[in-house]
Amino acid sequence: MSTNLTLRDALIAAVDEGLRVLSAGRPPSRPSPARAVDDARLTQDEKRVSAALMRVNHAGEIAAQALYTGQAIGARSAATRDHLLTAAREERDHLIWCRERLDELGGRPSALGPFWYAGSFCIGLVAGSFGDTASLGFVAETEHQVEAHLEDHLDRLPAADEKSRAILREMAADEAHHGTTARLAGGRPLPQPVRILMSFGGEILRRTAYLV
């Protein structure tokens, strides 16, 4: 995203990016970790549980794309903007991996994908408006909460579903890296009320996307 773009141009570019995210029309830059894992026979109930969990993760990655895109628009420095857009590109791989696994499990993405994108994009705009250190702190806290969420899903996946587990492990490693680099780039810790509000919002997404 060029620093020479006007706000209107940046918003148009963000809408275009949102349509690309929701259409799932691009290949990942890295192959899915699931490709190196032998497929296992899952019962219908196990497939249902795995698909629901992967739908939640897919919805979360839609939100991550929107958050970082919104934050990048408000970035004060080129270094912060590049940091956010680099993280967004890596999160795009997660999005595609989750969608591929959903298809393999016979599942479907959340019907509220456009809502997750639009809402998260607005949150990203607000986070970016508070300056780069706050925005990077938002990234670090987001990734910290996502790591905890992924650990929970790793525990809840059916034991035989090693393909989904391989994806979530790689995602967790990437999230930890994003959080660490955001802190090292100057991200400051967020106030506790903000962290609680973020956790509440994440829980709404997880509970809703599990079902819808």
**Per-residue pLDDT tens over the stretch 112-125:** 999 999 999 999 99
Q: Determine which helix (DSSP H) or strand (DSSP E) holds 152, and give its type and residue range.
A: helix 132-156
For residues 176-198, one letter each, b for 16 or more C-beta atoms within 10 angstroms of the residue's C-beta and e for the rest, the string is eebbebbbebbbeebeeebbeeb
Q: Indicate whether 21 pLDDT > 80.
A: no
| 31 neighbors 123 (Cβ within 8 angstroms) | no
Residue 7: per-residue pLDDT: 63
Give the whole-number percent of the chain exceeding pLDDT 70: 88
Greatest distance between any 2 Cα atoms in the chain = 53
Q: How far apart are CA 83 and CA 23, in angstroms?
A: 25
Q: Determine which helix (DSSP H) or strand (DSSP E) holds 180, and give its type and residue range.
A: helix 162-184
| 165 neighbors 172 (Cβ within 8 angstroms) | no
| 105 neighbors 54 (Cβ within 8 angstroms) | yes
Domain 48-211 indexed as CATH 1.10.3720.10: no
Q: Which of 101, 97, 71 lies closest to 84, judged by CA?
A: 71
* Least confidently predicted of 20-24, 88-92, 111-115, 193-197: 20-24
User: With bands split at pLDDT 50, 70 and 90, how would you rate the model's confidence at 85?
Assistant: confident
Tokens describing residue 81: 């903007």
DSSP tag of 94:
H
Mean model confidence pLDDT for the chain? 90
In this prediction, residues 71-80 reach a mean pLDDT of: 92
Q: Indicate whether 3 pLDDT > 80.
A: no
**Per-residue pLDDT tens over the stretch 59-74:** 999 999 899 999 999 8
pTM: 0.89
